[in-house]
């Protein structure tokens, strides 16, 4: 069964008198364990799609099934719960809470989890997640004391806290240099391979999209192509070949 199933999704914004059609009937099925790269120029509607897939926004019309459940007509509170349980976000600007330690940032989703955990348990899990992205010794650092790559790894650790069904990454490499970008993509690829996590990555760079297992191209609010990526790039191999750059750690 598809993790994400979207049918005839439209989204229309009203900017003053003008109606902006961000999505004009999008249908998409994403299976468990896929690494889907959504590409397209800015304004093509790919970000709008991600917001709807991430339950941050509701479609104007159409249907959206997440894990088989219709989430297109849920209340605000129900959407919050879906975001908490089933969706992990990774943003271009990292979106970590400023003046808050990496550990506390990672703990955040647990704070809003209905199954209340003890503070020590939250801490333990957050520490585990940080260790998984190699930042155990940076737990008490605040975001401004971390490099871009480290911040994005904290964000990834946070996104994975509640073991979501899908990981939504919106231009995750946009603020990173090329080596760090590949490192982040490596994390995505290994998450997919080791844990079978479904990843939807949104980018305007075709080169980044090439790390996905499937590439969906957007233009003017419509899908223009949707093909399996037969020549998927492997981040780990490329990292091995790259000259050892100064690690930002």
Q: What is the binding site for other proteins (CB under 8 A)?
A: 51, 54, 56-57, 76-77, 80-81, 83-85, 89, 91, 95-100, 108-109, 111-114, 116, 158, 161-162
**Least gap, CB of 215 to other proteins (angstroms):** 25
**Least gap, CB of 188 to other proteins (angstroms):** 18
Q: Which is nearer to other proteins, 158 or 214 (CB)?
A: 158
Q: Which is nearer to other proteins, 36 or 96 (CB)?
A: 96
- The residues near 166 (Cβ < 8 Å, ≥ 6 apart) are 3, 4, 30, 53, 66, 86, 87, 88, 197, 198, 199, 200
- Please give the helix or strand (H or E) that residue 50 lies within, else none: helix 46-53
Q: Which is nearer to other proteins, 94 or 211 (CB)?
A: 94
Q: How many CA atoms lie within 13 A of 218 on its CB side?
A: 30
Q: Which residue has the tokens 């439209």?
A: 10
Query: How big is the CA angle at 218 (ends 174 and 59), to the nearest 5 degrees?
Result: 95
What is the distance between the alpha carbons of residues 20 and 117, in angstroms, rounded to a whole number? 43
Q: Which is nearer to other proteins, 68 or 98 (CB)?
A: 98
Torsion of CA 105, 88, 110, 165, to 10 degrees: -160
Q: Which is nearer to other proteins, 42 or 227 (CB)?
A: 42
**Least gap, CB of 39 to other proteins (angstroms):** 21
Q: Is residue 21 classed as helix, strand or coil in its secondary structure?
A: strand
Q: How many CA atoms lie within 13 A of 143 on its CB side?
A: 17
**Least gap, CB of 231 to other proteins (angstroms):** 33
**Least gap, CB of 172 to other proteins (angstroms):** 14
């Amino acid at each position: 069964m598809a993790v994400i199933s979207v049918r005839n999704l439209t989204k229309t914004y009203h900017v003053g008198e003008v109606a902006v059609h961000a999505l004009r009937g999008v249908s998409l099925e994403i299976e468990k364990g896929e690494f889907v790269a959504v590409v397209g120029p800015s304004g093509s509607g790919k970000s709008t799609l991600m917001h709807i897939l991430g339950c941050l926004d509701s479609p104007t019309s159409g249907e959206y099934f997440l894990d088989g459940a219709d989430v297109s007509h849920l209340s605000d509170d129900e959407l919050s719960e879906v975001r908490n349980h089933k969706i992990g976000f990774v943003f271009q600007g990292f979106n970590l809470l400023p003046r808050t330690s990496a550990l506390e940032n990672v703990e955040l989703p647990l704070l809003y989890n209905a199954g209340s955990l003890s503070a020590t348990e939250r801490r333990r899990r957050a520490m585990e997640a940080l260790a998984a992205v190699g930042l155990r010794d940076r737990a008490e650092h605040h975001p401004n004391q971390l490099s871009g790559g480290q911040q994005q790894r904290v964000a990834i650790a946070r996104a994975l806290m509640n073991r979501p069904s899908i990981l939504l990454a919106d231009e995750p490499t946009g603020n990173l240099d090329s080596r760090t970008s590949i490192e982040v993509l490596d994390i995505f690829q290994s998450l997919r391979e080791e844990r079978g996590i479904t990843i939807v990555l949104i980018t305007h760079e075709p080169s980044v999209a090439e790390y996905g297992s499937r590439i969906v191209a957007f233009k003017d609010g419509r899908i223009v192509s949707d093909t399996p990526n037969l020549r998927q790039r492997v981040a780990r191999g490329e990292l091995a070949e790259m000259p050892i750059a100064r690690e930002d750690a």
